[in-house]
Amino acid sequence: MTNDSKTITVGVLALQGAFIEHIHMLKRIPKVKDVIPVKTEEQLNSVDCLIIPGGESTSMALIAERCNMLEPIRAFVQKKPTWGTCAGMIMLAKEATGAKKGGQQLFNALDVVVNRNQFGSQKESFQTMLHLPEILGEEPFAAVFIRAPVIAEIKSPKVKVVGRLEQKHGQTEAETAVAVLQDHLFATAFHPELTNDLRLHEFFVDMAVKYL
């Protein structure tokens, strides 16, 4: 079978946050055979790839720890295609600044330092047009940032920046990295599941199909 005709099972981590919205987006993509909300190790083992949604990364880490999911997810994200959006991007990183006192547990895969709550509080949320030419061509994407993080530092040449802010927002400079790829990992600081635009979900599904 060629990759074009393959279908996959996508997991959406459903411990906390905006997982329902991702599930609705994925159900619209023909290459997605099944979408599984993932809460247990057994469910995690049944999926080909995983989306870690936005939400609250400290809560997500605590719930993952209580459900004995920290280590299984850490092992999964080392080798299987995974996309982290917003809090999910924080969880995928190896390091986070602006974390709660005493630090927070992360899934430790992406070689970056993220800065949490880069733009301030909820009322500093915004929507902006971004170009992601390597993955979406010319057509910009309407990116929704809600108490969003940014990529503050890149720690490995394997990390490729595929999206940057195009304007200054508050204290945050234009050109700040907000979307990256690293081998089988994809991370966006914004929430593509809160738009009607399927293109980033389709991109991730195609990327995951290549890893089957």
Question: Catalytic positions, please?
Answer: 86, 191, 193
Residue 169 is a binding residue for ligand GLN (CB under 6 A)? no
* DSSP element (H, E) containing 56: none
Compute φ and ψ for 70, nearest 5 degrees. Answer: -60, -55
Least distance (Å) between residue 56 CB and ligand GLN: 5
Closer by beta carbon to ligand GLN, 10 or else 90: 90
Q: For residues 69 and 152, what is the distance between their CA atoms, to the nearest angstrom? A: 27
Residues 144-163 that bind ligand GLN (CB under 6 A): 146-147
Alpha helices per DSSP H over 67-192: 70-79, 87-92, 133-136
Residue 86 is a binding residue for ligand GLN (CB under 6 A)? yes
Could you give the 3-state DSSP secondary structure of residue 162? strand
Which span sits near ligand GLN by CB under 6 A: 5-13, 53-61, 65-73, 201-209?
53-61
Closer by beta carbon to ligand GLN, 54 or else 163: 54
Residue 116 is a binding residue for ligand GLN (CB under 6 A)? yes
Contact of 107 with 77, CB cutoff 8 Å = yes
Contact of 176 with 151, CB cutoff 8 Å = yes
- Number of alpha carbons in the 13 Å side-chain half-sphere of residue 102: 1
Which span sits near ligand GLN by CB under 6 A: 5-13, 48-56, 67-75, 171-179?
48-56
Closest by CA position to 19, among listed 67, 72, 58, 60: 60
> Which of 52, 63, 87, 135 contacts ligand GLN by CB under 6 A?
87
Could you give the 3-state DSSP secondary structure of residue 142? strand
The size of the interface with ligand GLN (CB under 6 A), counted in residues, is 11
Residue 22 is a binding residue for ligand GLN (CB under 6 A)? no
Residue 117 is a binding residue for ligand GLN (CB under 6 A)? yes
Give the residues lining the site for ligand GLN (CB under 6 A): 54-57, 86-87, 90, 116-117, 146-147
